[in-house]
Each structure stands twice: as C-alpha cells, then as structure tokens.
Amino acid sequence: MKALLYPMLAVLFSMPTLPAADPQPTLTLAREDNWLIVRGPQIPGGELRTNYLEAYCRAGSTDADWVRHTVIPHTSEVISLSDDRKTLRLRDSLADGVTVEHTITAGDDAVDFQLTARNPTGKPSETHWAQPCVRLSAFTGFDEKTAGGATDYLPQCFIFLDGKLTRLPTTEWAVQARYTPGQVWCPKNVPRTDVNPRPLNRLVPTNGLIGCFSADGKLIYASAWEPYQELFQGVARCLHSDFRLGGLAPGETKKIRGKMYIVPADPDALLARYAGDFPEHLR
C-alpha cells in the first residue's frame, strides 16, 4: 500500500498551483466639496463625479428664473464614510428647515442611494425635486475642459422610448426654452410646468432610465430614481435622472431611492436589473 501511496503523493505535491482568480472590480466612494466621487478600476478615467446635489427645486420651474424662483439653498455635511469607503452618509439642510439624510452604498457595479427627507417645521415645504448632476466627459471619451454646452457625446447617450433603447438626439428635439441648450423628458405623472427650464421634449419616456455608452462601447453608465421628476441631458456632458419629493407637509417624512449602474454594455441585462430594482416603473 505504501508503495502505491508515496508516488501518488509525489505527483500531487508536484502539480503546479493554479493562479488565483482576479478579484471582482469593485467601487468605492469619496466626498470632495459638493462632489460625490465613485471610483473603480473599470471606470474610464478611474472615477465618475456627480455634483451631489446640484440643487433642490420648487415647482413651477419650467419657465421660471432658476436663481430667483427655483433653487432652494442648502448645505451638505458628511456624517460618516466607512473604512472600506463603501458606505457614505450625508445630511443636507435646506433653507426652509427640511433635512435630507443620504445613505450611499457602493457595490461591485452599482451604487445604491437611500434617502429620507423630513420636514420638522410647522410650515409646508416647497421642495419638489432635486438634481444629481453626473459628469460623463471622461466616460464618453472627451476632455472635461471642453464640456460647456457640448453635444458631441449625444450619440452615446440614450433613453427608452416605446420600450426601446433610443440614442440621442431623438427624432423630435426641442430647441426653445428659457435656457438653452439641453433636453428634458417629463414622465406622465409629473406636471410639465414643474421641470428644468431647458428645452422640453414632447416625447414621454417609457421608463426612468437614462444612460450612455463608454468611449470603447464596452460599458454602460445609467441611473434611475424612485420617484423621479424628469430625465435631463444637460450642458456639461452630464445626464440626470432627477428625483421627486413633491413637497413636504409639516412633520412629514418621505423616502426616495436611486441606483447608479456601471455595467457591461448589454442593454437587455441592464433592463432586467432595472426591472428588479424599480418594478413600479414598469407597471
């Protein structure tokens, strides 16, 4: 028996060790001034920056002065950032007394947003919607220094119309508004008087996803929120899915949630993922 065992052990110990599998690329978070920064080895340029949040806004905004009427001033503070830089907690304090607490969690290929908005005051709040502004110059292969008013990235961007991924610019493209350029799409349940004062497209999006393909076509960035106010193609090579609060009564609390996806360029897989995260958008 020993005569058989020893040769077998020798063969086993002489077998080459298989290399360890490459670790799954994972995302981390950082906060610099008003920027939410998502970093990961799979992201072109190494990071995505979001002006988070660019603004909290009043209703009646479609044809109103942005500064004098629409924007509600706010300040933002970091409550905590976990040691692994995967979970970031923020608190926004609005001029009308509303507070919004954010728990932002980075996964391997997505970032999850869980928000709680509270109105502790005795007066109704006019806070109707808010803007996370995601900057996509590097992701789409352009220099951030040339972002102002750029439209060169539009063919890489998309929304869903009639259930199909539709590249920008869409066949109908609005050009007139209080401020130009840009493009806004308003869902059926939101008054068209209450969105960004940029050109308002007549077409109604099928769902709340907006995104773009990377410069090499291998990745998709996309985002969605529930509830959402609008989809917006902006003027700094940015894309918005802007979330909705709809005002807050005295003492009222509301929950908002969102997702940022950075995934392989498979639209069907993205839609399936989105359907699981936001089933109410597909009803």
- Would residue 7 count as lying in a domain? no
On whether residue 18 sits in a domain, the answer given is no
Residue 44's alpha-carbon distances to 99, 111, 129, in angstroms, are 34, 16, 30
Q: Tell me how far apart the alpha carbons of residues 38 and 25 are, in angstroms, rounded to a whole number.
A: 13
For residue 3, the model assigns a pLDDT of: 52
Core vs surface per residue 189-214: b (16+ CB within 10 A) or e = ebeeebbbbbbbbebebbbbbbbbbb
How many structural domains is the chain composed of? Answer: 1
Q: How far is CA 265 from CA 40, 169, 205, in A?
A: 17, 20, 21
Give me the DSSP letters along 218-263: SEEEEEEEESEEEEEE-SSSEEEEEEE---B-TT-EEEEEEEEEEE
179: in domain: yes
Q: Residue 100: its pLDDT value, please? A: 98
Please, are residues 253 and 98 in contact by the beta-carbon 8 Å criterion? no
Looking at residue 25, what is its pLDDT?
A: 77
Collect the ranges in the chain with pLDDT lower than 70.
Answer: 1-23
State the Rg of the chain over Cα.
Answer: 22
What pLDDT score does 282 carry?
Answer: 79
Inside any domain, residue 17: no
Q: Identify the CA nearest to 98 among candidates 78, 72, 133, 70.
A: 72
Domain-located, residue 20:
no
Residue 281 is predicted with a pLDDT of: 87
Q: What is the CATH number of the domain that holds 58?
A: 2.70.98
Would you say 254 and 127 are in contact if contact means Cβ atoms under 8 Å apart? no
User: Is residue 239 domain-resident?
Assistant: yes
Question: Cβ(185)–Cβ(205) under 8 Å?
Answer: yes
pLDDT of residue 13: 47
Return the bridge partners of 70, or none.
Answer: none
List the structure tokens of 88.
């970031």
pLDDT digits (tens, 9 = 90+) for 224-247: 999 999 999 999 999 999 999 999
8 Å CB contact between 231 and 208: yes
Range of the domain at 37: 25-282
DSSP lists the bridge partners of residue 242 as: 230
